[in-house]
Structure 1
Amino acid sequence: MPKIVDHDERRRHIAEAAVRIAGRHGLDRATLRDIAVEAGISLGAVQHYFRSKEELLRHVVGHLGEQVTARIMTRVGDLGDVSVLSFLEAMAVEILPLDARRRAERRVAQAFGIRAPDVPELTEPLRQGYDWVRDNVAELIRQAQGAGELRPELDAEFESIVLLAVIDGLSSDILIGVRDPGQAVETVRYHLNRLAVR
């Protein structure tokens, strides 16, 4: 009887191997052959799912977004009934490179950002992902303003952009050793507390 292969699981497995390789050695050194070795499968098996490195990278962009979103929702679920500020802090904690997994994800995300202008196939998925996060954060801020949690005079759209820029900058700081993870989390908390109604 032929072996039944879960194709979605196989794609996830390959994407995870790509994240590990790129996290250790950088995106440019993540060849399909290296990814196949990391995944413990043949190069032909990788090419069965992804015809090129660019196609694999597009898939990895979506995969990382799903992984981070799932972690945020798990963290928030573990916290129970939380305020919007607590939710936004949980979101930041799951994006910041505070451990080996999140450092690998951040390295990959930064590499995508650098490479995207030269690889048009990456630009649109990255832009869509950023827009989705920005819009959802802005909506959370508006909800918190409506509930009296955040200051009503804030511009939710701009505050969303600023928060994501703060997280992005702190992520770079952690990666190059300018700031330690604890300082980064405290900085996010400081920023979010400035938005709260006093």
Structure 2
Amino acid sequence: MPRQVDHDARRSEIARAVCELIAERGIEAATLRETADRAGVSMGAVQRAFSKDGMLRCALDHLSAQIKQRATARIETSPEPKSARTLLTVTLQELVFADPDQRVAARVWLAFVSHAATRAEFAEVIRTALADTLDLIVWLLEFGRSTGEIRDDVVIAPTARRLQLLVDGLTQHVVLGHTTAAAAHAEVDAAVRELTGM
């Protein structure tokens, strides 16, 4: 009998390989052949699963899934997992990609952003990711308002935008070694404390 292939696991392994290649040598290094070698699969398997652009987009989806998994794990083990402040702080900190085990994710994200400057189709993917992130931050602020944790005088939409800009800027500074993970997390903490008045 032919061996059953776990297509989801294979796509995940290919996405991980793409991310590693991009983090090490940039987007142009993530060729079908290099990706197949890194993932330990045939080039035909990669071609059947993705076009080159589809492979890169899957890598971006892989990053999003990692953020969600990490944030969920941190929130569930926090002292106040249902607190809006916890949800907002942890989510923003994860979006910075500051921790040492997030360096691959940070480099990949910045490589995608750089690539999007000259590729319209990638610019659209990045804009969608940014819009989704902004919507999430707005929701978290509104949730915090409903629980009484976010101050009544905080204007939600522009505040969400400023938080997103803070996170994006911190990512760049961490990757370039201009600031540390601890300092980046402290900046997020301070921003959230200002909104909660705590």
Fold agreement, TM-score > 0.5: yes
How much has 1:100 moved relative to structure 2? 4.2
Q: How does 1:175-186 map to 2 (within 5 A)?
A: 175-186=175-186
Moved more, 108-117 or 90-99: 90-99
Q: Does structure 1 conserve the Cα–Cα contact (< 8 Å) formed by 2:71 and 2:94?
A: yes
How many pairs are equivalent?
A: 197
- Distance in 2 separating the partners of 1:193 and 1:109: 27
What do residues 11-37 of structure 1 show as CA deviations (whole Å, max 9, x unaligned)? 111001101111122222222211111
Distance 1:100 1:43 in 2: 31
Alpha-carbon distance between aligned partners in 1 of 2:169 and 2:86, rounded to the nearest angstrom:
20
The equivalent of 1:124 in structure 2 is: 124
The reply to whether residue 71 of structure 1 matches residue 61 of structure 2 is no
Measured in 1, the distance between the counterparts of 2:114 and 2:193 equals 32
The question of whether the paired residues in 1 share the 8 Å contact of 2:134 and 2:160 is answered with yes
CA contact (8 A) 2:98 2:106 kept: no
Partner in structure 1 of residue 110 of structure 2: 110
8 Å contact from structure 2 (residues 84, 147) kept in 1: no
CA distance in 1, matches of 2:195, 2:111: 31
The residue identity in structure 2 corresponding to 1:69 is: K
Residue in 1 that maps onto 2:90: 90
Please give the alpha-carbon distance, in whole angstroms, between the structure 2 residues aligned to 1:47 and 1:100. Answer: 32
- Distance in 1 (alpha carbons) for counterparts of 2:17 and 2:101: 12
Unaligned runs of 5+ in 1: none
8 Å CA contact retained: 1:96, 1:102: no
Superposition pairs of residues 149-168 of structure 1, within 5 angstroms: 149-168=149-168
Matched residues in 2 for 1:190 and 1:140: separation? 16
Residue in 1 that maps onto 2:15: 15
After superposing the two structures, state which structure 1 stretch, 78-87 or 15-24, moved more.
78-87
**C-alpha distance in 2, partners of 1:116/1:160?**
23
Paired letter, 1:182: A
Report the CA distance between 1:92 and its aligned residue: 2.4
| TM-score normalised by L of structure 1 | 0.91
Distance in 1 of aligned mates of 2:60 and 2:131:
14
8 Å CA contact retained: 1:150, 1:195: yes
In the other structure, the counterpart of 2:44 is 44
The letter of the residue matching 1:4 is Q
Deviation per CA, 1:32-54: give whole Å up to 9, x if none.
21111110112221111112x21
Q: How big is the shift at 1:95? A: 2.4
Secondary structure, counterpart of 2:195 in structure 1: coil
Question: Hey, what's the Cα distance between the residues in 1 that align with 2:185 and 2:142?
Answer: 23
In structure 2, what is the equivalent of residue 56 of structure 1?
55
Q: Which residue of 1 aligns with 2:31?
A: 31
Letter in 2 for 1:178: H
Q: In structure 1, what is the Cα distance between the partners aligned to 2:100 and 2:42?
A: 26
